[in-house]
Amino acid sequence: QHTSVSPTVYSPGTKVDGTPFDTCEPGEPTPSPTASPTETPPLVMIHEIQGTKSNDGNGGDISPLEGQLVMVEAIVVGAFLGADKLNGFFLQEEDDDVDNDPRSSEGIFVYYPVPVDGVNALNEGDKVLLTGKVAEYYSQTQISNVIMIHVISSNNPLPTPAAIDFQRGNYGVFSTPGGYVADLERFEGMSVRFESNSDMVVNEIYNFVRFGELVLTSGMVPIQFSQSNFPSKSGYDFYLRSIASRQVTLDDGSTTQNPDLSKYPGLDGIFDTENAIRIGDRPDSDLIGCLGYSFSQYRVHPTGSFLFEREDHRPELAKSKKAKAKKDEFNIVS
């Protein structure tokens, strides 16, 4: 009989009063957990967390400090707190603290679903000191399990956004379950800038209404491979790589499904048939945002303001013409 006699738990071999039978020994009491000594984690730079190229097979880079508790001091470059957003914020090293290694990122996403130390709001320009654990979440390097956070100062100059230029840069691609993706690992977690002369254009709107996502491509809207090429397996693969190498997803900084599209960046608070985003539209100025990685895509979550310019206007209604129509019916069952 299993019997609990506070404060000790006895397993089989005891009587109801907790005393052992003649041929049995009492069970060992469950040991109480002992608190481990508190240690101050090392203060590290974000580029030390991000590391350099070490592909994990899914397009991401494994942090050399994965699983370790670290302390970081950096500037908030994007705040997306709350379950209706990203449940976190982006940190980036100040310009004076970068390592000048083009292979390592100076930014990182901090998963922060529950306020710690009374810090329940953050703004761009806040300098924070925090302690958390380095983690890989579906190939995105991030800091999670934050146990300490302190806002040192506010309204600090923002770190310089990293320039991504698909027209001049050759970033390469990697393969994911969903296809090829431009290899922007070196910018993961950072504030990035796509300059207006990079000629970004809306290429895909499939997930716009449901997830608030657009796909932007540098240059012209791609056409189907077979429209100007003979069928070729290797040629088609090269074509897909070429498109992916100059393509990125524009997200709305939210995980909400079916969002209020009037609040979507670039729409100026209005979403109707007149200004609905169409394939071929372009941002009217530099596109600035924080670069994250999720669902096998690099995603820009805008922090700067811009509007979409209409490139392909809807055609005028066709003039009605008189036409004759004939209707025939056939019984094809019996």
Note the pLDDT of residue 38. 59
pLDDT at 334 over 70: no
Note the pLDDT of residue 332. 75
Residue 79 confidence class, pLDDT cut points 50, 70, 90:
very high
Cβ neighbours of residue 102 closer than 8 Å, sequence gap 6 or more: 186
197-251: per-residue pLDDT in tens?
Answer: 678 999 999 999 999 999 999 988 999 999 999 999 999 999 999 999 999 999 9
pLDDT at 54 over 90: no
Tokens of 311: 């490139």
Expressed in percent and rounded to 5, the helix, strand and coil fractions of the chain are 10, 30, 55
pLDDT at 252 over 80: yes
126-179: per-residue pLDDT in tens?
Answer: 999 999 999 999 999 999 999 999 999 999 999 999 999 998 888 899 999 889
SS3 206: coil
Query: What's the pTM?
Result: 0.80
Note the pLDDT of residue 98. 95
Evaluate whether 56 touches 136 at the Cβ level (below 8 Å): yes
118-131: per-residue pLDDT in tens?
Answer: 999 999 999 999 99
Answer with the residue of higher pLDDT: 41 or 37.
Answer: 41
pLDDT at 5 over 50: no
Evaluate whether 250 touches 215 at the Cβ level (below 8 Å): yes
What is the enclosing helix (H) or strand (E) of 107? strand 107-111
